[in-house]
Structure 1
Amino acid sequence: MNIEEIRGIPITDFLARLGHEPTARKGNEWWYSAPYREERTPSFRVNIRKNVWQDFGTGGGGDIFHLAGEFTGSSDFKEQAKFIVAAWGGVLPENGAAFRPKEKKPDEHPDEETCSVKATFGPLYNKVLLRYLEERGICSDVALPNCEEVRYTLRGKRYFNIGFRNISGGYELRNRLFKGSLSPKDISLIDNGSDTCNLFEGFIDYLSWMVLGLGCGDDYLVLNSVALLERSYGFLDKYDHILCYLDRDEAGRRTLETLRKRYGNRIEDCSALYKGFKDLNEYLQNRLPQD
């Protein structure tokens, strides 16, 4: 696929491929809950005629490449293209010039400011972040050994996030209002030397699994995005058993089918445990005592 073919992918179809469906459709405007952060009221709009998006919660917006940048936490155009093609299906040309962004003429407006983020890391002691996890059913006894507190300043504002490290040194970031990542984007692996691996889409589901006490001593692999599935193969290939706790949605089903084609009966679908719920964390939350 070249740059124009990628840019021509309908953003609504791309979001559906990632498992995100609109909450409302009003003419050319489709509304979603922001797909890369947590929010209670949908504030993410796609104009299907112009094929552009806008996030009224953060002020962000743009085309499909800008959207991929939000998912990957990267401003690198090539990394954005790789993410889109991995999720959509297709092949990037070997010649990088074929998908290099067009150079701007001197009289054109310069690119928007790209903010570099210098983050600091430490133990997860922030009470607001811990309270957010508790509301999702995750106790500090599970969160503290698995997560870090990530602090950074962006455009003069200070931010605090729950951070979950991946194998490349990047982090998945969460707080009550934000869902994103700190590049580089990659999978996460907890290797205990087991011949069984438990597979999750996101780290909140992994933490939920730990809270539920479904086992111990196995290995754990968190995709951090179904678009990163191929990166997991080099690790999953060695396991005799792969227990899948994927979301009960279209993206989760497609991911499971892809894994079955590669691994056959080494794959076990464990989603029946949380039948009636979207994912493992939603199941956990519904087991909590009601006030």
Structure 2
Amino acid sequence: MNIEETRRIPITDFLARMGHEPTSRKGNEWWYSAPYREERTPSFRVNILKNVWQDFGIGRGGDIFSLAGEFTGSSDFKEQAGFISEVFGGIAPATVFRPKEKRPETDPDEESCFVKVRFGPLYNKVLLNYLKERGICSDVALFNCEEVRYTLHGKRYFAIGFKNVSGGYELRTRMFKGSISPKDISLIDNSSDTCNLFEGFIDYLSWMMLGLGCGDDYLVLNSVALLERSYGVLDRYERVNCYLDRDEAGRRTLEALRKRYGNKIEDCSALYKGFKDLNEYLQHKDGILE
């Protein structure tokens, strides 16, 4: 398509391709929760007759190209056009949020569980900014995480998703921490004889940002309560480097590991002495937290 043909693409279709549906429709005006930032009251309007959008929350608006710029955080016209092409060509953002099959154990009451769950590449500006605030760059995030969109208690949300070995996901946003069942550990298997162990995936991403090595295996507990579930995996390693939180739960977990594995366990928490966890250390190191 040429520029004018692209500009005539209905903005509502563009949003729908990325999993965004209107919260209300009033004549030619369709209202949405802003698709690239978090808000409680929908303030994003599309005039379907003029095919323009207006975000009253930030005081900006325009055509489909400027909207693509809000998603990408770029004012470069070629990047905006490329993003639109990817959405409709099924390459990047569109991997168009693939629907997730409902699990048999899902609560039949759709208002009290995760429903309409969709997955896609992590391109949401709000989520990437949240990770940036925690010292995690987009390259590391995109390689390891997904963007998850879902409905909970009748409302639509989006979150950073980190997959576990059973197909469930850990979910994070600035305001929310949860998971989509089944809850389980996460493993990145590179066929190494050394495993780096973390409590949560933000610490794993922090490890990647710090560039502490490469080629090892990585196991994320996703909860210290899942420690025993990790034994079947950890049994095969010659060395387990532990990057656990410097708190009582972390100490108990380390003791349990040492009781089972002895000298195979290496406590690496001295690296971030004086900080709660690896991510807090990363943020102070990068000057994010003063």
Q: TM-score range by the shorter chain?
A: 0.5 to 0.7
* Paired position in structure 2 for 1:146: 144
Report whether the alignment pairs 1:271 with 2:290. Answer: no
Paired position in structure 1 for 2:179: 181
1:220 to 209, 212, 218: 218
Counterpart secondary structure, 1:252: helix
CA distance in 2: counterparts of 1:219 and 1:123, whole angstroms = 23
Superposed CA deviations along residues 152-203 of structure 1, whole A, max 9, x for unmatched, are: 1223321010000000000000000000001000000000000000000000
8 Å contact 2:112–2:152 — kept in the other structure? no
Question: CA–CA distance in 2 between the matches of 1:122 and 1:156?
Answer: 21
- Give, in angstroms, the shift of residue 116 of structure 1: 4.5
**Correspondence for 2:168:** 170
Distance 1:154 1:114 in 2: 7
Q: Is the 8 A contact 2:241 2:267 kept in 1?
A: yes
Q: TM-score normalised to the size of structure 1?
A: 0.61
Q: TM-score, normalised by structure 2?
A: 0.61
C-alpha displacement of 1:141: 1.1
Give the Cα–Cα distance (whole angstroms) in 2 for the partners of residues 283 and 116 of structure 1: 33
Equivalent in 121, 130, 133 of residue 131 of structure 2: 133
User: What's the % identity of the aligned pairs?
Assistant: 83
Contact preservation (8 Å) 2:207, 2:278: yes
Are the counterparts in 1 of residues 196 and 217 from structure 2 also a CA contact under 8 Å?
yes
What secondary structure, in the 3-state scheme, does the structure 2 residue paired with 1:119 have? strand
Task: Measure the CA separation in 2 of the matches of 1:137 and 1:159.
Answer: 23
Counterpart in 1 of 2:196?
Answer: 198
Q: How many residues align?
A: 183
Tell me the equivalent position of 1:158.
156
Inter-partner Cα distance in structure 1 for 2:207 and 2:217: 12
Deviations 1:106-165 (A, max 9, x none): xxxxx9963352310000000000000000000011100000000012233210100000
What stretches of structure 1 move > 2 A for 4+ residues in a row? 111-116
Structure whose CA Rg is larger: 2
Match for 2:190: what amino acid? N
2:224 is aligned with 1:210: no
Deviation string for 1:5-50 (max 9, x for gaps)?
Answer: xxxxxxxxxxxxxxxxxxxxxxxxxxxxxxxxxxxxxxxxxxxxxx
Amino acid at match of 1:257: E
**How far apart, in 1, do the equivalents of 2:119 and 2:257 lie?**
34
Question: Structure 1 CA distance, aligned partners of 2:261 and 2:219?
Answer: 16
- Point out which structure has higher relative CO (alpha carbons under 8 A, 6+ apart): 1
Native 8 Å contact 2:140 2:208 kept in 1:
yes
* Structure 2, gaps ≥5 residues long: 1-102
CA distance in structure 2 between the partners assigned to 1:121 and 1:112 by the alignment: 19
